[in-house]
Amino acid sequence: MIELKLNGLNVKAEEGWTLLETARFYGLEIPTLCYNEGLSVFGGCRLCLVEIGEGPKARLVSSCTYPAEEGLVVRTDTKRVIEARRMMIELMVSIAPNSKKIQDLASKFNVTQVRFKVRNEECVLCGLCVRMCAEQMDGRAIGFQNRGYKKKISTPFDLRSEECRLCGGCIYICPVCQLRCQGPEADTTLCNACLTMDPTCLDHYDELQCWMYDAGRCGTCVREK
């Protein structure tokens, strides 16, 4: 067992656990995008950042890749973490505003402005599709190409793939492949329809509890355009 400090609590982790696994075991919420329990870790979306260490040497690391260490001091919601997280979400919204998953993250973590020019690219290079195809579906039909701002995901040499079995695993796992509530032609960059909704029924019925208070289940709670 590895003993470490998590948000001030003394916790124990098994050999080989990451900080993310440790935190989730103890019920702490850390947002992720490129992480999936069934696939290898990637550490690219930078949402799962936590602050380790104390004092001037404290730094942010992706909890999904950082192994639990004896005596480590971990904090999941410091000012640095929250500000970095919000900037990551802001950047993601500016790339793919039509992703429900990303819009929900924006609503949840109070991202109120998108100050970068929106690109509408529909891919945030989280690599889930690549790992899904390689690890779960044994296809290895797609991968990363180039580096830097030119990085993209495609088949080798952009040619039609003979390895692809059209299983749809990549579409299934993609966090961007879910339309937001307002649809693809939304007026505003930030959606805020689902997570910060206002149940309309409660105005009519005083003594009622809304059992459908769950992201988008009821449908009447979509904000008026």
Q: Write out the residues near another protein by the rule CB under 8 A.
A: 42-46, 49, 59-62, 65-67, 69, 80, 83-84, 87-88, 91-92, 94-95, 115-117, 124-125, 144, 146-151
CA gap 22, 6 in Å, rounded? 9
Per the CB < 8 A criterion, the answer to whether 93 and 111 are in contact is yes
Q: Considering the complex, what minimum distance in angstroms separates the CB of residue 31 from another protein?
A: 13
Closer residue to another protein in complex, CB, 148/219: 148
Closer residue to another protein in complex, CB, 34/194: 34
Q: Considering the complex, what minimum distance in angstroms separates the CB of residue 28 from another protein?
A: 19
Q: Considering the complex, what minimum distance in angstroms separates the CB of residue 192 from another protein?
A: 21
Closer residue to another protein in complex, CB, 176/181: 176
Per the CB < 8 A criterion, the answer to whether 4 and 68 are in contact is yes
Closer residue to another protein in complex, CB, 60/177: 60
Radius of gyration of the chain (CA): 20
- Provide φ and ψ at 173, rounded to 5°: -85, -15
Q: Considering the complex, what minimum distance in angstroms separates the CB of residue 100 from another protein?
A: 18
Sole residue written with tokens 């891919």: 123
Q: Tell me if residue 98 falls in helix, strand or coil.
A: coil
CA gap 11, 9 in Å, rounded? 6
